[in-house]
Amino acid sequence: MTSTSLTADTQADAREGAVAERVRKIRENQGAGVSRAEGWRRRGPLLPALIFMIVVTQIPFLFTLYYSTLSWNLVRPGSRQFVGLNNYIAVAKDSQFWRVGLNTVILIVGVVLISAFLGLLLALLLDRAFLGRGVVRTLLITPFLVTPVAAALIWKTTILDPTNGILNWVLSLVGIGPVDWIGQFPLTMVMVELIWQWTPFMMLLILAGLQSMPRDILEAGRVDGAGAFQLFRELTLPHLRRFIELGVVLGAVYLVNTFDAIYMMTQGGPGIASANLPFYIYQRAFLGFDMGQAAAMGVVVVIFTMFIASFALRLIFKSFSGKEEAA
Amino acid sequence: MTTPRVAEDTEKSTTVEDSAVAPKKKGRKFDAWGAVAWLVGLGFFFPVFWMVLTSFKQEGDAATSPPTLFFAPTLDQYGKVFDQGIGPAMLNSVWATGISTLLVLLLGVPAAFALSLRPVRKTQDALFFFMSTKMLPIVAAILPLYVIVSNIGLLDNIWALVILYTSMNLPIAVWMMRSFFLEVPGELLEAASLDGASLWRSVREVILPLVSPGIAATALICVIFAWNEFFFAVNLTAVNAQTMPVYLVGFIAGEGQYWAVLSAAATMAALPVILCGWFAQNKLVRGLSFGAIK
Amino acid sequence: MASITYTNATCIYEGSDKLAVDSLNLDIQDGEFVVLVGPSGSGKSTALRMLAGLEDIDEGSIEIGGKNMVGVPSKDRDIAMVFQNYALYPNKTVAENMGFALKLRGVSAEERRKKVEEAAKILDLTEFLDRKPAKLSGGQRQRVAMGRAIVREPQVFCMDEPLSNLDAKLRVQTRTQIAALQRRLGTTTVYVTHDQVEAMTMGDRVAVLRFGKLQQFASPNELYDRPANAFVAGFIGSPAMNLVTLPVAPDGVKIGDSTLELERAELSKISEAGLSEVTFGIRPEQLELSDSDGVDVVVDLVEDLGSEAYVYTHAGTGMELVARCNPRTAPKLAESVKLRKHPDGAVHLFHPQSGERLN
């Protein structure tokens, strides 16, 4: 039997350059033909879903852009005419729009931050094993599952009603007089209801984060002499940061569309005190039939949301899709 | 030469699931924090509990102050709800939810599979696109959708909702199922391919059985979101195609201050999904975070 | 006929400009047991996967039984593979796992059952046939993976580090059984490992790879006695061969203060290459403790393995040398001793830059 031998490697730059040259040539030869057919075979199954989504979501949005350049009221037929950016100017001058925009921001920021905080507390509570933990978790996620309009209805009537609502009854026990919650604090009450519904979501995300934390780091910390609070601050919280961030960003994205609670609890009122952008636009379009204006507002909301959404997308792609395993 | 025999293993049987994280202790402890957790849990659950409780009351017991805790339960309210024609609305919801979920699976499973294979540059973009559609505020699309839907004559037709719900759930479903597909070790596909299986055969015999719990969970999540959807439903349907949430709103217009029957209607609207969610708890997080969190 | 021929086979790392396997040339005879060995990143697994069709052959070709496999998908190559993590189908029983390939080929259920039971008997798996992989131990799963390969009676067996997930004792047991099984079945086998002990004990011939390039392809004995370059010399053998770069003296090489004499032929090779230094290699068992002559060293560590002992020492200039000795007469720590070459001990000379063998 013979043996063959080759020179052992020396990593001179020239050699690396020669290798890269070869690789380039090989890739060139392969370029067309095989990989293209393969590429279609691989991407094929994706197409139906992709086409469906493009048709159903992108095309309507293009129309919205178009409508925003029209002055068009559904009730007055034949009133469609191109007015360029007039609608946008009107929107910019519409003080109600900006007030409602402010409401929207307050709503989103308030609900997201408070429910994230509460969610953190709940997750910490649930992270330890205790009797009946599974049951408590089931109880805690229920608010998120309740149909939003049903939930809003229950809050409006049985809980917040000035005369017979439970909240006022409980407060009366400590001598606080009956308060017309929805009448006096409409936006706040909507926010409370939303916080009730969204805290479970935050809790679940953060709980997943807590449970994904490798225990041996905590053990190492304990051996090194850290107390419970220090462990939390130095080890747990940094680990949780990306989960909390994800919850905040996703929550914000989902909450931009809040509609059900406002519709059911306050109808945006009194006036526009508790209206948010989707509700306001809805009023303009379906109650006022002013399509052009509503469309312009819709476009503005989209631009505003793209800002948040780009954070969300970057976060999801970057910190979480670590391993792309090839099948 | 004698037949080579393999000697006894010195190892004991072990199962595959060696958890890397600390094993769950069977917590028999009932300490102060446990009690706090229970209190908080009950507190959060209270409105739902109250809703169900009230639905069994007579109207007289429903809107009282102080609230009535003990009463003679009755099914009258549910009877009234059924009399008022909740049936068709139920059916509409079931139909819209069911068919759209089916469509989501039909379109989404192949898409998720394609996206989980060796990533071509375009697949990253496709993924990105899917996710971004979920983030656009639907209020921007409702206007042309209304116009288009009424022009095609699908206003107050359940099929409009079917299509819209499919588009609403497809991104989440694709991302969730993709993460399930990614969990299947690549080696299994390689082994099947060496054994002589075509791609289709390997998917059917090896991958799908492994992924089916994930697909079931995805379906449950789609059901939850489709059932609870209100915005599209209220704007695009009237009497014929109204779903449960729309029906509920209509119910209020008629029944106003009658809390017991309202509670009954609300319970009926919310119950199916609450049960679904209870079953799919773990997978809920996955779906909500677009599969980012396992 | 299932000979295997790699001709300038090349594979590029996915998404990078590096070559995983660089112009590999191997000529494997029918029925031979060939081991591909090397450190991580040497390209050995990639070379195996190219054979199995799991990696593309970017340049060159691979022939099985004379047929070119470029462009031929895995399922048509009639190759069975044992994966490092076994890759058993979790939702199928052991019997179904083993019979899957036959089922795909359309073999009748009866015939399948017969063949599966035969293989199960050889591998002592008969009582596990109806269990699912999750309920098996690591060693049992490994046997199922082998059984799956055997049942197919393929042209070629590919094995990708099949023993690396087993504990040490089981590894040694299974090693001999795999070798015996292969001899009985006579199927051409290509086996990948990073463990040079496995390579030396199991292979008819061994191919040593480094950074995607073939270093040497020869029988274990030849690799041991005549390594083709410094890398192979240092890789094969445990503990590793002593490799030191020494200045050249008129009649040999200088180690410390003394000169080790070399043969005439060796000296002429060195002067031909115009070298003032040479990489000198000598195996621990070719060094012995002496009282009289040799290199002065200080003992750093003594490893007593029961049947033999290894003495780790260093010479004045920091040069480290390992020698084998009798455990009963081993020196103590920090003791000063002398090491000399065995009278007929082989020395290996390598070019200090290229590493290529000189003698």
Does any domain span residue C82? Answer: yes
Contacts of B197 in chain C (CB under 8 A): 75, 100, 104
Specify the DSSP element, H or E, that contains A140.
helix A133-145
Model pLDDT, residue C215:
95
Would you place residue C202 in the very low, low, confident or very high pLDDT band (cuts 50, 70, 90)?
Answer: very high
Residues C164, C29 within the same domain: yes
Residue of B nearest to A57 (CA): B133
Domains for chain A: give ranges and CATH numbers: 96-288+304-320 (1.10.3720.10)
Task: Kindly report the average pLDDT of chain C as a whole number.
Answer: 90
What is the ipTM score, two decimals?
0.80
On the 0-12 / 13-18 / 19+ scale of CB atoms within 10 A, C199 is buried
Cβ-contact C30, C41 below 8 angstroms: no
CATH class of B77-288: mainly alpha
Residues C224, C243 within the same domain: no
Model pLDDT, residue A36:
61
Residue of A nearest to C354 (CA): A8
Q: Write out the DSSP string of C89-135.
A: -TTS-HHHHHHHHHHHHT--HHHHHHHHHHHHHHTT-GGGTTS-GGG
Residues C173, C278 within the same domain: no
Model pLDDT, residue B294:
59
Does any domain span residue C152? Answer: yes
Model pLDDT, residue C6:
94
pLDDT tens digits along B253-286: 776 678 888 888 899 889 999 988 888 777 776 6
Closest CA to C180 of C152, C155, C151, C150: C150
C251 pLDDT above the threshold of 80: yes
Residues C55, C26 within the same domain: yes
Residues C157, C219 within the same domain: yes
Secondary structure (H, E, C), A147-184:
CHHHHHHHHHHHHCCCCCCHHHHHHHHCCCCCCCHHHH
Residues of C (130-189) whose Cβ lies below 8 Å from B: 133-140, 143, 148, 152, 167, 169-170, 173-174, 177, 180-181, 183-184
- Cα distance between the two ends of chain A: 40
pLDDT tens digits along C151-168: 988 999 999 999 998 999
C35 pLDDT above the threshold of 50: yes
Residues C258, C152 within the same domain: no
Range of the domain at C85: 4-229
Q: Write out the DSSP string of A263-320.
A: HHHTTT-STTTT--HHHHHHIIIIIS-BHHHHHHHHHHHHHHHHHHHHHHHHHIIIII
Report chain B residues touching chain C, CB-CB < 8 A.
1, 3-7, 9-17, 118, 185, 187-188, 190-198, 201, 205-206, 209-210
Residue of A nearest to C233 (CA): A8
Does any domain span residue C356? Answer: no
Residues C210, C266 within the same domain: no
Model pLDDT, residue A88:
85
pLDDT tens digits along A144-164: 999 999 999 999 888 888 888
Q: Report the domain count for chain C.
A: 2
Contacts of B195 in chain C (CB under 8 A): 75, 100-101, 104, 148, 152
Domain end position, chosen among C229, C255, C273: C229
| Nearest-10 Cα torsion for C331, C334, C340, C344 | 50
Does any domain span residue C44? Answer: yes
Q: Return the sign of the alpha-carbon dihedral for residues C131, C132, C137, C141.
A: positive
Residues C159, C256 within the same domain: no
Model pLDDT, residue B288:
65
pLDDT tens digits along A50-80: 889 888 888 888 888 888 888 777 777 766 7
Would you place residue A13 in the very low, low, confident or very high pLDDT band (cuts 50, 70, 90)?
Answer: low
Residues C305, C344 within the same domain: yes
Domain range list for chain B: 77-288
Residues C93, C132 within the same domain: yes
Does any domain span residue C234? Answer: no
Residues C317, C336 within the same domain: yes
Residues C217, C248 within the same domain: no
Dist CA C86 CA C97 (whole Å): 11
Closest in A6, A27, A30 to C213, CB measured: A6
CATH of residue C250: 2.40.50.140
